[in-house]
Amino acid sequence: MSRGSGGGAFVSLRSPDYRTLWLGGLFVFLAVTAQTIARGWLALRLTGTNAGLGGVLLAFGVPSLVLAPWGGVVADRLPKRRVLVLAGTVLTLSALWLGLADAFGFVEYWMLLATSAMQALAFSLFGPTRMAFTAELVERGQLANAVSLGQMSAEGMRIVGPSIAGLLIALSAFGEKAVFLGTAGLCAVATVINLWLPPGLPSPHRPTRSPLEELREGFGYVRRQRHLLILVVASLGVVMIGYPYLAFLPAVASDLFGVGAGAYGLMSAVTSVGAVVAAFVGARVANPDLWRRLVVAGIAFGLGIVVLGVTPVFAVGLVVLPAIGAASLMFQTSNQSLLLMLSDFDFHGRLQGLVMLGFSGFGIAALPLGILADAIGLRPTLAGMGLISAAIVGWAALAGRREPAFVERDIG
> What pLDDT is stored for residue 345 in this prediction?
82
> What pLDDT is stored for residue 3 in this prediction?
40
What's the average model confidence in pLDDT over 16-39? 91
pLDDT band at 316 (very low <50, low <70, confident <90, very high): very high
Percent of the chain with pLDDT over 70: 92
Superfamily of 211-412 according to CATH: MFS general substrate transporter like domains (1.20.1250.20)
pLDDT digits (tens, 9 = 90+) for 42-63: 887 888 765 676 677 778 888 8
pLDDT digits (tens, 9 = 90+) for 168-217: 777 766 778 888 999 999 999 999 999 999 999 887 777 778 888 988 99
Helix, strand, coil % over all residues of the chain, rounded to 5: 85, 0, 15
Query: At residue 388, does pLDDT exceed 60?
Result: yes
Distance set, CA 193 to CA 21, 81, 99 (Å): 8, 10, 22
What's the average model confidence in pLDDT over 233-258? 86
Q: Name the residue ranges covered by the structural domains of the chain.
A: 7-198, 211-412
What's the average model confidence in pLDDT over 405-410? 62
Mean of all residue pLDDT scores within the chain = 86
Q: CATH number for 7-198: choose from 3.40.605.10, 3.40.630.30, 1.20.1250.20, 1.10.260.40.
A: 1.20.1250.20
> What pLDDT is stored for residue 244 in this prediction?
86
* Dist. CA 58–CA 157, nearest whole Å: 23
pLDDT band at 27 (very low <50, low <70, confident <90, very high): very high
CB-facing half-sphere around the CA of 41: CA atoms within 13 A:
21
pLDDT digits (tens, 9 = 90+) for 107-158: 999 999 999 999 999 999 998 999 889 988 988 788 888 888 888 888 788 7
Q: Which of 134, 177, 178 is nearest to 333 (CA)?
A: 134
Q: What is the CA radius of gyration of the chain?
A: 21
- The residues, ordered by sequence, that sit 6+ positions from 194 with a Cβ below 8 Å of its Cβ are 20, 21, 24, 81, 84, 85, 88
Query: At residue 4, does pLDDT exceed 60?
Result: no
